[in-house]
Structure 1
C-alpha cells in the first residue's frame, strides 16, 4: 500500500522558503504544491510513487542546517492528511524539550478527536500544533 501523494516535512529552519522545498523535492517528481507553515510544511506530489521516494530518501537529511523529518502525511483525508483549512488549529508554546508529537496528541485527546499534531524547536523554545476536526473540541481545548 502506498502512502499517498502528500508528504509532511518537519523540523524546518525559519530560513527555509517554499522555493527551497520545491527545488529539493522536485528531483523526486512533479511537485504540485508546497504548503509552508512555521517549522513544517506539506509537499504534494502528482504521483504517490514520487512521494514514497522522497520519504525514503529525504527523512533524516539536513536542510538549511536542520535535520528534517519527512513522512507521509497523516490525518483526515485518508493517507493524504487533512484538507487545507479543514481543521481547528491551536499553537502551543513553551513545551518541555522532551515533549514529543505523540505526547501532545495524547494530551489533546483528553478533550476531543485530534486530526494532527506536531512539535518543533525554534531557538531555545519548543512549540506544538494540535488540530481538531470539530469546532466543539477545539473550543473545549482552549478553556
Structure 2
C-alpha cells in the first residue's frame, strides 16, 4: 500500500471529491480528509505505482500539492476513513516538509517563504 499526501485543499473538498479525482489511477483503500485544521488529506492506494501516477498527474492541479506520504507505514496504521481513535495525542501528526511535530507543512518555517 502507498499513501499520498494532498495539501492546499479547499476546506469544502470532501472524501467523495477526492475519490472521484484519484480513482482513475487505481484501487483506493482509504481516504481521510482533515477537518481541524482543514486543508489536507491522505489517500491510500493499493499499489505504489498507482500512487506515483496520481502524484505525477495531479500535483499542481487545482493548486494542490500532491506527494508521497512521508509517514506511510505500508500497513493501514489506523488512518482509514472514520477512524478517529488515537488522534488526541498527536504523536503521528508531523510536518510533511521537515518531519518535525507540532506544526503542519503550510506553517513550516523550512519552506523558505
- Bigger proportion of residues as strand: 1
TM-score normalised by L of structure 1: 0.55
Per the alignment, residue 8 of structure 2 pairs with 11
Rg larger in 1 or in 2? 1
Per the alignment, residue 73 of structure 1 pairs with 69
Per the alignment, residue 119 of structure 1 pairs with 105
Gaps of 5+ in 1: 91-99, 109-113, 121-126, 129-143
Gaps of 5+ in 2: 80-85, 109-113
| Corresponding pairs, count | 95
Please say if residues 2 and 72 of structure 2, whose CA atoms lie closer than 8 Å, have aligned partners that are also in contact: no
Q: Distance in 1 between matches of 2:41 and 2:6?
A: 5
TM-score normalised by L of structure 2: 0.68
Per the alignment, residue 111 of structure 2 pairs with none
Q: Which has the higher contact order (CA 8 A, sep 6+)?
A: 2
RMSD: 3.1
Q: Give runs of aligned pairs for residues 21-36 of structure 1, distance below 5 A.
A: 21-36=18-33
